[in-house]
A = this chain, B = another copy of it.
Amino acid sequence: MKNISRLKDSNLKVTPQRLEIVKILSTYGHMNINSLYEALREKFPTLSLATIYKNIHTMRDKSFLSEVKIPNQKNLYELKKEEHSHIVCSKCDDIIDIELDTSSFINQASSISNYKLDKSSIVLIGICPKCATI
């Protein structure tokens, strides 16, 4: 199965708990520690919070997943993929991924600042289409 080899590729031992973390994250996209814990408890009633923390941190350190910081929210975790930005609805807190062309932006910033830029963390905040109609 695909998730198994992805874990192996990152030098992570394949445990049932880890497989379920991957499954849940691929379903929900972005989650904080606590909702991940709640979701995992359904399948593993004895799962410990400590196990989640340990797994999330090793998986993050091996770049298997990434930590996302959004204003007014707890840290979120998502499966690693190509660099992308996030859009948050300030009413319902829903988050979507979006791929944007950041190159002109980065160029502008590096020529002003003289930094050698290589990554970005971009969150745009607004109202989602659903909330806009309510």
Is A87 a contact of B109 with CB atoms below 8 Å? Answer: yes
Q: Known contacts A70-B69, A104-B104, A108-B101; decide if A96 and B121 are in contact (CB<8 Å).
A: no
Q: Separation in Å of the A106 CB from the closest CB of chain B?
A: 7
Is A126 a contact of B122 with CB atoms below 8 Å? Answer: no
Bound Cα distance A110, B70 (Å): 18
A-B contact pairs, 11 of them (CB 8 A): A71-B121, A87-B109, A98-B113, A102-B105, A106-B124, A116-B127, A117-B124, A118-B126, A118-B127, A121-B124, A122-B123
Is A85 a contact of B109 with CB atoms below 8 Å? Answer: yes
Whether A89 is near chain B, meaning CB under 8 Å from some CB there, is yes
Is A71 a contact of B69 with CB atoms below 8 Å? Answer: yes
Is B100 a contact of A127 with CB atoms below 8 Å? Answer: no
A71 touches which one: B67, B87, B118, B132 (CB < 8 A)?
B67
